Amino acid sequence: MIKKIAVIGAGSWGTALAVSLSGKGHSVKIWDINNEHLQELKDHRENIRFLPEVKFPDGIEISFTIEEAISGAGIVLFSAPAQHFRSAFDGAIPYLKSEMVLVNVAKGIEQKSLMRLSEIAFEKLPDAKYVVLSGPSHAEEVGRAMPTTVVSAAKDLELAEYIQDVFMSDRLRVYTNTDVAGVEFGGALKNIIALGAGISDGMGYGDNAKAALMTRGITEIARLGTKLGASASTFSGLTGIGDLIVTCTSMHSRNRRCGIMIGEGVKPSEATKKVGMVVEGMYTTEAAYQLAQKVGIEMPITEQIYHVINEKIDAREAVKSLMTRQKKHETEDVFQR
Amino acid sequence: MIKKIAVIGAGSWGTALAVSLSGKGHSVKIWDINNEHLQELKDHRENIRFLPEVKFPDGIEISFTIEEAISGAGIVLFSAPAQHFRSAFDGAIPYLKSEMVLVNVAKGIEQKSLMRLSEIAFEKLPDAKYVVLSGPSHAEEVGRAMPTTVVSAAKDLELAEYIQDVFMSDRLRVYTNTDVAGVEFGGALKNIIALGAGISDGMGYGDNAKAALMTRGITEIARLGTKLGASASTFSGLTGIGDLIVTCTSMHSRNRRCGIMIGEGVKPSEATKKVGMVVEGMYTTEAAYQLAQKVGIEMPITEQIYHVINEKIDAREAVKSLMTRQKKHETEDVFQR
């Protein structure tokens, strides 16, 4: 069952998946909007910028036009950053055929529109065979064939199972799920809690505080997600709490590193500058805060982080406010069903 | 609302809670089965063995008999190790009055009987006012008043709320839950996964593998727990995934340290000896394996860890077996309701 796969976007995650797929015998073509970067991939047979020390197997080709990459492919994998998904998708549309399966591995909520990425895709191509691949998966580890699990999610279970078969190996275990909204919300909103976990660490708080933040954090993410059509069970899974665990406990996470600086007393605007790259959680916090207000959902942790990163309150005040809220029953809402 | 509280068992957790309660103005008496240890507590006004560098506030008294500790108390807090709960409870029974509220903070399943600790208590005193206090709470951090959350669980919500009021402070946030079985299973069975997380770390696997182990681990714990009367939602909360996160990511955990040695190739029997203290997860794995067999529940991770610690298979074989199991839908069972 050898497939032809186009990978659109040669960051660390797209590259790691290309290597993994090629290792299973699939034929993979990589394209990226940056021509110079593509030339480097071709010259070095390695992504020295974003996934160093992982050599490309022979089955990986570099394409210098998106048309060439997509032409003849059975599967088109989108691995552009979330805020660039719309333009990457627009660029691909002229070459897509209705039988091609589209897989998106980006995680985020689009700014301003507050749309999930699948909503953007279906708005443009209502009949797209669209799959989201998500889960606790640092690219650095997948590129090195370290054991990893992910979820293939599509409204149509058979489609999710098709991608499960294509990607699964004895190093990459793939589960299926039909809750596309839940998988997308989990992957995007975890970055809010990663910022918060960093802030907690930066303030010198311990493992107890961070575990509380993660557990109550996924609870409020689930509360928003279920209100917007997701299934609560998804947030207890690999793309929910699983991905949150990986993000909050790793120094790979830019969101967490940014949070640590804020917790140490650096101004949020300064901390973002110092990280030097996009801190997705800053956008996601704003998006979630707006969504929660819009649909009338209580998200106390998100709200406090929103006020901290907008320099309205100090991190210590935020913690005090969270610890002294009205007393609660643990499962009064979302998981109680 | 000043209460008189007896603490039975002066390990690190009982001591940390005594300090926290005394800090709220409650009057606390500590008793322990080891007289020499009690004399040390009295002489140093500090638990130098198990919670060093945390000075006792004036509100803590040391009692040299269990009768003296319990006499006149409104609340009796049991903090003996799980396998010693039965004897500690037996020792207290002659002095308990029906109006006293009993709080247990030990986590475990009794060996051989495979009973939860509340089952032991209710077998002896069917009308006991019995509360379980559990959650992600390293004693070292609670003793230092670092922000922590726990759950007060009782069949009777009002009783759980009573203990919530007694314990809650701006550093210790207490939620209530009425799912006693779920809270007890979460606290006990997490140690299986902590062993597994250690093994994964010891084998040199990464954050992806560990997050997968934790997420799929809590799923199978919930599968067993719900079969035995617990509510699935509890396993998504502080006493389930929350406590699992703290245990699997901290070097404080003996279970995890034991697992690391096994992952590095030390024989399980040797590793247990080297830890030098009780590795509760070794017993819990056996108990859960037996319970799962008895009620016909699939627990693939527990089963593999059981075989590894009993030296039936090698850790690498266990990982391969887990990664290459039959393909699955993610939420086919427990959280899908």
For residue B66, give how far its alpha carbon lies from the nearest alpha carbon of chain A (Å).
31
Please state the rounded mean pLDDT for residues B295-303: 95
Residue A320 has pLDDT above 90, yes or no: no
Is the CATH code 1.10.1040.10 the one for domain B181-323?
Answer: yes
For residue A23, give how far its alpha carbon lies from the nearest alpha carbon of chain B (Å).
16
Q: A52 at the B interface (CB within 8 A)? A: no
Q: What is the pLDDT of residues A72-103, one digit of tens each?
A: 999 999 999 999 999 999 999 999 999 999 99
Q: Do the Cβ atoms of B212 and A173 come closer than 8 Å?
A: yes
pLDDT for the residue A336: 40
In this prediction the ipTM stands at: 0.93
The DSSP code for B203 is: T
Q: What string of DSSP letters covers A95-150? A: G--TTPEEEE----B-TTT--BHHHHHHHH-TT-EEEEEESS--HHHHHTT--EEE
pLDDT for the residue A67: 98
Of B136, B238, B323, the CB nearest to A330: B238
Q: B285 at the A interface (CB within 8 A)? A: no
A236: left (phi over 0), alpha (psi -120 to 50) or beta: alpha
Q: What is the pLDDT of residues B69-88, one digit of tens each?
A: 999 999 999 999 999 999 99
Instruction: List the domain boundaries for chain B.
Output: 4-178, 181-323
Residue B12 has pLDDT above 70, yes or no: yes
B267 included as an active-site residue: no
Q: Do the Cβ atoms of A83 and A283 come closer than 8 Å?
A: yes
Coil, helix or strand at residue B143: helix
Of A234, A252, A329, the CB nearest to B175: A329
Q: What is the pLDDT of residues A11-21, one digit of tens each?
A: 999 999 999 99
A53: left (phi over 0), alpha (psi -120 to 50) or beta: left
Question: Which of residues B253 and B243 earns the better pLDDT score?
Answer: B243
Pairing of strands B4-8, B75-78: parallel
Instruction: Please give the backbone phi and psi of residue B76, each rounded to the nearest 5 degrees, phi first.
Output: -115, 120
User: Using a CB-CB distance cutoff of 8 angstroms, which residues of chain B are in contact with residue A168?
Assistant: 327
CA R_g for chain B: 20
Residue B278 has pLDDT above 80, yes or no: no
How much of chain A exceeds pLDDT 70, in percent? Answer: 98
Question: Which of residues A333 and B331 earns the better pLDDT score?
Answer: B331
pLDDT for the residue A45: 98
The A residues from 127 to 166 touching B (CB cutoff 8 Å) are 135-138, 140-142, 146-149, 151, 157, 161, 164-165
Chain A: residue nearest B137 by CA? A208
Q: Do the Cβ atoms of B37 and B60 come closer than 8 Å?
A: no
Q: A330 at the B interface (CB within 8 A)? A: yes
pLDDT for the residue A333: 58
Residues A286 and A267: their CA atoms lie apart, in Å, by 17
Whether A323 and B215 lie within 8 Å, measured CB to CB: no
Instruction: Give the mutation candidate from A207, A256, A320, A324 for the B interface (greatest B CB count, under 10 A).
Output: A207
* Catalytic member of B24, B29, B107, B190: B190
Please state the rounded mean pLDDT for residues A245-252: 87
Quote the mean pLDDT of chain B.
Answer: 94
Whether B335 and A237 lie within 8 Å, measured CB to CB: yes
Quote the mean pLDDT of chain A.
Answer: 94
Q: What is the pLDDT of residues A287-317, one digit of tens each?
A: 999 999 999 999 999 999 999 999 899 998 8
Please state the rounded mean pLDDT for residues B232-247: 96
Assigned token pair, A50: 């974003």
As assigned by CATH, the class of the A4-178 domain is alpha beta
How much of chain B exceeds pLDDT 90, in percent? Answer: 87
How much of chain B exceeds pLDDT 70, in percent? Answer: 98
Residue (of A177, A75, A85) closest to A129 by Cα position:
A75
pLDDT for the residue A92: 98
pLDDT for the residue B332: 60
For A154-243, where are the E strands, in sequence order? Answer: 172-177
